């Protein structure tokens, strides 16, 4: 036998029955986006490497060590598998002048790629639901997006006690410059405790040091000067306006002055939704305002805000809190006793499906027809509400037997083959 091949480490296959959980989650997301009037966008998985280097910042975990970058062997272009969604969406908006007629609310379901150490809740290919409001200065839209997250958690049936919202303001670039000087002085005074990453970032991007996951550095990070104390009136007013909406909406949050997020493009509002159910992979959703990114990528000044939600982590959280998506099963399963009955059965199933019923049929004419008993077993295993029995006697009279497989089962009724569309709706009820 030829040698078997495996998927790339940290990249997962999503197969049944697990894929049903994904579809259920995605259907909740789609319904949410429709209710908030966010329009779907899809951008390429591969982008020029320069987009992310310029967009996310050279001294970030993603750009320094997590990107899958390669040279296009045809023309030597430097390309990267997208590690996050926002930069590509902003590029597309600028390229197509899509905000010409006014601001836009958009969302996207994306696959992302980061070269990280794979573990539970952390993969090399992972998925996000991403929302962006482009051309809005906020703070109303910032709050709207945070509330969208809560609405989705509710729609999914995740009790709010298992997630918390953390909020911070990163202010404006001038405020960050003043804070930065104070940060550098603080970390220089504790240079002995800095790890290699931190020492390298001390003068290039000291704010990043606050994002460290190194336990040995937590104490000096705790003691570091807080950006909050450097914020001017306008930045504080923006934060307070967001808080006022959250308060009015009865959504509890914690101000976390050390919340900085992993990309450089953020300013003002930043937030994360965190659960304690998933260990150190506890952040299920993160986002914030990025008013400077359009200009940084060659566009006109355009205020914007967005968030990204980790789909794998949300599904793990659903599992951890015991939320089971409703089982999906066909309305009916066709039992086909003989090869002769197969064409009529197939045509009837087609008519039922055209009328909106979900019908599973496995006549098995290629593998040898199974006994009635084994077909009934399969019908039961499928979870179908009804069996359709295409027996020779019924067919001779132009009929098919519909038998209930639920609630003890047994009840049966003969239905005319020629009028499938008329009785298809009855398959969708438990009668
Ligand atoms: P972390 O601090 O856990 O590395 P991050 O700050 O890098 O997260 P973001 O870039 O803000 O994450 O992405 C938003 C969300 O995407 C995260 O909150 C998380 O739910 C999810 N996510 C990020 N990286 C991964 C990954 N490697 N595998 C699975 N999900 C991820
Ligand atoms: Mg990360």
Asked if residue 315 and residue 277 are part of one domain, the reply reads yes
Q: Tell me: is residue 114 an annotated ligand-binding position.
A: yes
**pTM reported for the whole predicted model:** 0.91
Is the domain of 278 the same as that of 350? no
Assess whether the C-beta atom of 285 lies below 6 angstroms from ligand 1: yes
Name the DSSP letter for residue 65: I
Do 402 and 303 have their domain in common? no
- Indicate whether 431 pLDDT > 60: no
Are 127 and 254 members of one domain? Answer: yes
Residue 97 has pLDDT above 80, yes or no: yes
What CATH number did the domain enclosing 265 receive? Answer: 3.30.930.10
Number of residues in the chain: 431
Residue after which a domain boundary falls, among 294, 320, 346: 320
426 φ/ψ sector (left φ>0, alpha ψ -120 to 50, else beta): alpha
Grade residue 295 by pLDDT with cuts at 50, 70 and 90.
very high
Distances (CA, A) of 324 to 15, 318, 327: 17, 7, 8
What is the count of structural domains for the chain? 2
Ordered strands of the 104-113 beta sheet: 39-40, 104-113, 125-134, 304-310, 283-289, 267-275, 163-169, 254-255
Ligand 1 atom with the smallest distance to the CA of 262 is: 6
Measured in angstroms, how far is the CA atom of residue 280 from the centroid of ligand 1? 11
Ligand 2 centroid – CA 115 distance (Å): 10
The neighbouring-strand residues paired with 283 are 274
Question: Is it the case that residue 364 has pLDDT exceeding 60?
Answer: yes
CATH number of the CATH domain containing 339: 3.40.50.800
Asked if 254 and 399 sit in the same domain, the reply is no
Same domain assignment for residues 265 and 340 = no
Is 305 within the bounds of a domain? Answer: yes
State yes or no: 266 annotated in a binding site: yes
Each residue of 63-96: pLDDT tens digit?
999 999 999 999 999 999 999 999 999 999 999 9
| Same domain? 384 vs 241 | no
- How does pLDDT run across 150-166, given as a tens digit for each residue? 999 999 999 999 999 99
> Do 341 and 265 fall within a single domain?
no
Residue 172 and residue 181: Cα distance in Å, rounded? 15
What are 406's strand-pairing partners? Answer: none
Same-domain pairing of 374 and 240 = no
- Taking CA atoms only, the protein residue closest to ligand 1 atom 24 is 122
Does 280 fall in a domain? Answer: yes
Examine residue 189 and state whether it is found in any structural domain, yes or no: no
Domain housing 415: 332-428
Residue of 286, 297, 267 lying closest to 128 (CA atoms):
286
Is 4 domain-assigned? no
Q: Are residues 67 and 118 in the same domain?
A: yes
Same domain, 249 and 119: yes
Residue at which a domain ends, from 320, 341, 365:
320
* Distance from Cα 431 to the centre of ligand 2, integer Å: 51
């Amino acid at each position: 036998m030829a040698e078997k091949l495996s998927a790339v480490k940290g990249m997962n296959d999503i197969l049944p029955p697990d894929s049903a959980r994904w579809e259920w989650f995605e259907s909740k997301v789609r319904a949410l986006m429709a209710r908030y009037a966010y329009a779907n966008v899809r951008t390429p998985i591969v982008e020029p490497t320069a987009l992310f280097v310029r967009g996310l910042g050279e001294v970030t975990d993603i750009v320094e060590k997590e990107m899958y970058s390669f040279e296009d062997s045809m023309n030597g272009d430097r390309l990267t598998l997208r590690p996050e969604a926002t930069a590509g969406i902003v590029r597309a908006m600028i390229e197509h002048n899509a905000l010409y007629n006014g601001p836009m609310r958009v969302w996207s379901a994306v696959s992302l790629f980061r070269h990280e150490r794979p573990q539970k809740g952390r993969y090399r290919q992972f998925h996000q639901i991403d929302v962006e409001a482009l051309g809005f200065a906020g703070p109303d839209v910032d709050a709207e997006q945070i509330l969208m997250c809560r609405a989705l958690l509710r729609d999914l049936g995740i009790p709010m006690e298992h997630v918390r919202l953390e909020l911070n303001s990163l202010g404006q670039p001038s405020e960050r410059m003043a804070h930065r000087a104070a940060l550098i002085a603080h970390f220089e005074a504790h240079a002995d405790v800095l790890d290699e990453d931190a020492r390298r970032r001390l003068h290039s991007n000291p704010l990043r040091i606050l994002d460290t996951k190194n336990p040995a550095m937590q104490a000096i990070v705790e003691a570091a000067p807080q950006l909050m104390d450097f914020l001017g009136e306008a930045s504080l007013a923006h934060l307070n306006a967001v808080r006022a909406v959250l308060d009015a909406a009865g959504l509890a949050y914690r101000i976390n002055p050390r919340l900085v997020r992993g990309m450089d493009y953020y300013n003002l509002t930043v937030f994360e939704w965190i659960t304690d159910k998933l260990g150190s992979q506890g952040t299920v959703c993160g986002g914030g305002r990025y008013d400077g990114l359009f200009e940084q990528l060659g566009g006109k000044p355009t205020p914007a805000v967005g968030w990204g939600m980790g789909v794998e982590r949300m599904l793990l959280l659903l599992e951890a809190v015991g939320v089971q998506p409703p089982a999906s099963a066909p309305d009916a399963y066709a039992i086909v006793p003989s090869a002769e009955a197969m064409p009529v059965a197939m045509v009837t199933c087609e008519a039922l499906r055209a009328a909106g019923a979900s019908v599973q049929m496995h006549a098995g004419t290629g593998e040898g027809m199974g006994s009635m008993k084994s077909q009934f077993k399969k019908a039961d295993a499928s979870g179908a509400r009804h069996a359709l029995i295409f027996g020779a006697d019924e067919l001779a009279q132009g009929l098919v037997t519909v038998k209930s497989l639920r609630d003890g089962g047994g009840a049966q009724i003969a239905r005319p083959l020629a009028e499938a569309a008329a009785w298809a709706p009855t398959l969708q009820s438990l009668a």
